[in-house]
Amino acid sequence: MINTKVTLAGVELKNPVMTASGTFGSGAEYGEFVDLNRLGAVVTKGVANVPWPGNPTPRVAEVYGGMLNAIGLQNPGIDVFAGRDIPFLKQYDTRIIVNVCGRTTEDYLEVVERLGEEPVDFLEINISCPNVKEGGIAFGQDPRAVEAITRAVKARAKQPVIMKLSPNVTDISEMARAAESGGADVVSLINTLTGMKIDINKRSFALANKTGGMSGPAVKPVALRMVYQAACAVKIPVIGMGGIATAEDALEFIMAGATAVSVGTANFYNPHATVEIVDGIMAYMQQHQVADITELIGCVR
Amino acid sequence: MDNKKKEAKARVVARVESQDCLADGIYSMWIQAGEIAAGAKPGQFLSLFTRDASRLLPRPISICEIEKGAGRLRVVYRVAGAGTEEFSRYQAGDPVTVMGPLGNGFPLEGDPGRKAFLIGGGIGIPPMLQLAKELNCHKQMVLGYRDKLFLKEEFEAYGKVAVATEDGSAGTRGNVIDAIRENGLTADVVYACGPVPMLRAVKAYALKQGMECWLSLEERMACGVGACLACVCQSKEVDGHSRVHNKRICKDGPVFAAQEVEL
């Protein structure tokens, strides 16, 4: 009997595979392709206190082995989200992680407090979106700001708090430690890497926002290195992500120290990616006689 | 695997049946994809995946023809970059990964006695062919090309075809609205697909004439299924998903009532 269960902040997940925020909506679209009951958790698209319209189009561009996006956190706001998306996800036997975004500390806290009454398992605080002018990454590139927002959120949160870190920093260990000092229960990383593409025929930026967040298989080695560094730097669990498309990728992150992993961009080109990774991890464990997945977490040091 | 749902949408490895070059850079590919063809409607699109792992994202391509009985679909597409160039090299028997059918499609209901314009511009022409096959009313096609014509003869089976070319090498010199005026055509309803400047002109023309008007839009996409929120267009009404004014072209569209979208 193989055990794929992992525990984050005292909450058990049936397996370590979750979705990455912003790549899976609230599950409804991909629920037509995969059985959401098979996922360890669904991480929702970021939700703010009020609806956000997001950025102008074009919002995405393909790059070698990856993509750039500058959606700009378009979302319906917490009221619609709580009335529609949470009840949808509650129909499934999976953990619900709500990604929270805001322009100001007060914005974040309003959503965090509102979610205190909702049946969700974790809050993931997005302090790392590179595509919005205010909020987002502004909170995520200075360790004092990371610690302060973490502390403020923790003071109001009813659920365990995951701080989502930006890779667009000089020292990821410092940011992970700042989140831990602020009281974070878990850290997740990486958010996207700020990138750019120019359309030489139009002599203009490929994205209306000029820059965007890079994701996809091309970022995986960078993400893996950062997850390893963060896992070495803190005692709290780490959720690893960045270019995970296969079970092999997921296992690399787990061995580097991630307790759970998120699948993001891969959903866009393989809607079955998440369940294929769940199956692939189990197959690996069988093949290598690993009885408990926790044996693999951080086994490469 | 319990991935199979009643939902008609599927991502499958289909077979290429044929590949033909219709004009410079314009290709026609028939693919065998019974599961997808069975649920497809005119105005819907497919996501086609390249085999090169460095090019991750699917290419959204409109469905040109549907043969449900034979389980076949036709796409007519322009080679616009390395991905579509790869598709153009596929030969009969080759595998091609396809997801679909995606999007809403054109509304087909309405009085059979009415007169319709089916307006296509450039690579917006192909989806009008299946619409011409399925729409039950008096159809007049208005096709706008840069220079080289394609698919024109195939449309002639369904009604009169007026042509506009930018260089005047065939039909009316100018755009599709010029062709409508030059030929003195009138209609009660318009269906159109093409570049945004054309759609803008068609919308202005149709609203001025008080005609019902349906426009098929396109935008850079990632997921093709409504999750990533990349391909939004500005909508007059608050959208159902995010409660802002951003309808998703892949999921809420690609076909919209003209008055619903700001172009």
Question: Same domain, yes or no, for B66 and B161?
Answer: no
Tokens found for residue B213: 């008007």
Q: Which amino acid is at A181?
A: S
Give A-chain residues touching B243 at CB under 8 angstroms.
Answer: 51, 76-77, 80
Over residues B24-56, the pLDDT tens digits come to 999 999 999 999 999 999 999 999 999 999 999
Tell me the per-residue pLDDT of A99-134, one tens digit each, with 9 for 90 and over: 999 999 999 999 999 999 999 999 999 998 877 777
Considering CB atoms only, which of A53, A71, A265 is closest to B244?
Answer: A53
Q: Does A280 touch chain B (CB under 8 A)?
A: no
Determine, for residues A32 and B241 on separate chains, whether the beta-carbon distance falls below 8 Å: no
**Residue B142 and residue B80 share a domain:** no
Query: With an 8 Å Cβ cutoff, is A240 touching chain B?
Result: no
Q: How many domains, in total, are found in chain B?
A: 3
Say yes or no: B85 and B130 in one domain: no
Answer yes or no: do B230 and A29 touch at CB < 8 A.
no
Indicate if B114 and B128 belong to the same structural domain.
yes
Interchain contact, B242 vs A35, CB within 8 Å: no
Cβ-contact A193, A213 below 8 angstroms: yes
B-facing residues of A in 10-69 (CB < 8 A) are 22-25, 29-30, 32-35, 45, 51-54, 57-62, 64-67, 69
| pLDDT > 70? residue B4 | no
Residue B35 DSSP SS3 = helix
- Tell me: domain A6-295, CATH 3.20.20.70, correct? yes
Exposure of A5 by Cβ count < 10 A (0-12 exposed, 13-18 middle, 19+ buried)?
middle
pLDDT digits (tens, 9 = 90+) for B49-102: 999 999 999 999 999 999 999 999 999 999 999 999 999 999 999 999 999 999
> B37: which residues sit within 8 A by CB, 6+ positions away?
B66, B67, B68, B70, B71, B72, B73
Peptide linkage before B101 cis (omega within 30 of 0): yes
What digits encode the pLDDT tens for the residues B133-188?
Answer: 999 999 999 999 999 999 999 999 999 999 999 999 999 999 999 999 999 999 99
Residue B53 lies in domain: 10-102
Edge-first strand order for the sheet with B10-23 is B59-62, B45-49, B95-102, B10-23, B26-32, B72-78, B65-67
Instruction: Please tell me whether residues B17 and B98 are part of one structural domain.
Output: yes
Q: Do B49 and A67 touch (CB under 8 A)?
A: no
What pLDDT is attached to residue B8? 57
Say which range, A7-11, A29-33, A154-158, has the weakest mean pLDDT: A29-33
Identify whether the C-beta of residue A82 lies closer than 8 Å to the C-beta of residue A123.
Answer: no
Same domain assignment for residues B92 and B114: no
Q: Do B219 and A58 touch (CB under 8 A)?
A: yes
| pLDDT of residue A141 exceeding 50 | yes
| Residue B23 at interface with chain A, using a CB cutoff of 8 Å | no
Is the residue at B3 inside a domain?
Answer: no
**Contact at CB, B1 and A275, closer than 8 angstroms:** yes
Q: Say which of B222, B227, B243 has its CB closest to residue A24.
A: B227
The answer to the question of residue B4 being in a domain is: no
- Closest CB to B228 among A33, A65, A268: A268
Residue in this structure with the two tokens 């002639």, named with its chain if needed: B156
Q: Per the domain annotation, does B2 fall within a domain?
A: no
- Establish if B55 touches chain A: CB-CB under 8 angstroms: yes
Final residue of a domain: which of B39, B74, B102? Answer: B102
- B23 near B148, Cβ under 8 Å? yes
CA pair distance A191, A182, nearest whole angstrom: 20
Q: Are A242 and A189 in contact (CB under 8 A)?
A: yes
In chain A, what are the domain boundaries? 6-295
Chain B contact probe: residue of A59, A67, A201 with most B CBs at under 10 A: A59
The C-alpha of B161 sits at a distance from chain A's nearest C-alpha, in angstroms, of 33
Which residues on adjacent β-strands are paired with residue B232?
Answer: B248
- How far is the alpha carbon of B222 from chain A, nearest alpha carbon, in Å? 6
Q: With contacts defined as CB-CB under 8 Å, which chain B residues touch A21?
A: none
> What is the band of B9 on the pLDDT scale with cuts at 50, 70, 90?
confident
Which of A23, A53, A76 shows the shortest C-beta gap to B227? A23
What is the rounded average pLDDT of the residues A203-227?
98
For B119-135, write each residue's pLDDT tens digit: 999 999 999 999 999 99
Active site residues per annotation of A: 129
B6 has pLDDT over 50? no
Q: Do A53 and B242 touch (CB under 8 A)?
A: yes
- What pLDDT, on a 0 to 100 scale, did the predictor assign at position A272? 95
Higher pLDDT, B7 or A220: A220
We report the CATH number of the domain holding residue B180 as: 3.40.50.80
Residue with tokens 């590919």: B29
Q: How much is the pTM?
A: 0.94
How many CB atoms sit inside 10 A of residue A299's CB? Answer: 13
> What's the mean pLDDT in B100-111?
95
Residues of B in contact with A32 (CB under 8 A): 5, 7, 9, 225
Pairing of strands B172-173, B95-102: unpaired
Token duo for residue B250: 């892949």
CATH number at residue B225: 2.10.240.10
Same domain, B113 and B197: yes
Contact A268 B245 (CB under 8 A): no
Closest CA to B47 of B7, B83, B20, B17: B83
B21 DSSP 8-state letter:
E
Q: What's the rounded Cα separation, in Å, for the pair A242 and B50? A: 22
Contact status of A264 with chain B (Cβ, < 8 Å): no
B211 in the same domain as B112 = yes
In this structure, the number of other CB atoms found within 10 A of the CB of residue A181 comes to 15
Q: Which one of B54, B55, B227 has the shortest CB-CB distance to A29?
A: B227
Average per-residue pLDDT for chain A: 96
Task: Give the angle A225-A166-A113 at the CA atoms, nearest 5°.
Answer: 130
Closest A-chain CA to B4: A33
DSSP B133-162: HH--SEEEEEEEESSS--SHHHHGGGSEEE
DSSP string, chain A: --B--EEETTEEESSSEEEPTTSSTTSTTGGGTS-GGGSSEEEPPPB-SS-B--PPSP-EEEETTEEEE-----B--HHHIIIIIHHHHHTSSSEEEEEE--SSHHHHHHHHHHHTTS--SEEEEE---TT-SSSGGGGTSSHHHHHHHHHHHHHH-SS-EEEEPPS-SS-HHHHHHHHHHTT-SEEEE--PEEEE-EETTTTEESSTTSEEEEESGGGHHHHHHHHHHHHHH-SS-EEEESS--SHHHHHHHHHHT-SEEEE-THHHH-TTHHHHHHHHHHHHHHHTT-SBGGGTTT---
- Find how far residue A202's CA is from the centre of its chain: 34
Restricting to B residues 32-51, those with a Cβ less than 8 Å away from any Cβ of A are 49
